[in-house]
Amino acid sequence: MALDINAIQQAGLAPAEPATREKQELGQEQFLKLMTEQITHQDPTKPMENGDFLAQMAQFSMAEGIGSLQESFKDFAGSMISSQSLEASNLVGRSVAALNSQGLLEVASPLTGSIKLNASTSNASVTILNQNGGVVKTLNLGAQSAGMVKFEWDGQLDDGSYAMPGIYKVEAEADVNGKNTALESYISAKVESVDLGDPKRGVVLNLGELGSVEFSKVKQVF
């Protein structure tokens, strides 16, 4: 049932001849006053049905409830970001493992990480490639059970010499149920700083030469 515009005008909630319409929020006190005026000025031959009255009350309660819920979620999201920021700030200087296809080999620090196996395998391997896509080293990990499997490359090549420090590509695969399957690799890197400036991405960890990663995508902390 539509609200009676005459009742709205007599309640003093709207001008009789508005030149322009402005969007206004209807508070609980105004709504109850409006309902009272509507009942008072209704046509005696067509009284408001109980169902109509309850429907209007339900619509108002629903709208008010949704508004309160939105505010609650906004507060909750702010609280979560603050909590993540506090946790992330404690990671500066520590190493984390996050989903990445590249790793950093340093002079006194090997390239390390983990591969994720969803099922056991008879043979898993990690291939290290240079930035041009050339194979530099293949690490044979052998048979492994399902789960996170660690690997490490100190830079030594097959001829006994050592590769130059820098960024290398990482590809992992395993024989799963007779099929050669590509695997996710989680590369370890040191957290240099924390960025809180992008609300869309949330808390972001800066990993130096390996770029940045969202805090929510970190798999392990060392």
Band the pLDDT of 19: cuts 50, 70, 90: very low
Band the pLDDT of 129: cuts 50, 70, 90: very high
- Identity of the highest mean pLDDT range in 14-23, 43-52, 74-83, 200-209: 200-209
Tell me which of 42 and 93 has the higher pLDDT.
93
Tell me which of 48 and 57 has the higher pLDDT.
57
Closest CA to 155 of 171, 139, 140: 139
Domains and CATH numbers, the chain: 1-13+28-39 (no CATH), 97-188 (2.60.40.4070)
pTM of the predicted model as reported, rounded to 2 decimal places: 0.61
Is residue 130's pLDDT more than 90?
yes
Question: What pLDDT score was predicted for residue 8?
Answer: 45
Could you read off the pLDDT of 118-127 as tens digits, one per residue?
A: 999 999 999 9
Mean pLDDT, residues 1-9: 50
Look over the chain and give the mean of its residue pLDDT values, rounded to a whole number. Answer: 78
Band the pLDDT of 203: cuts 50, 70, 90: confident
CA distances to 19, 72, 138, 185 from 163, rounded to whole Å, are: 78, 54, 13, 21
Tell me which of 24 and 171 has the higher pLDDT.
171
Give me the residue label for tokens 């990482």.
170
Is residue 156's pLDDT more than 80?
yes
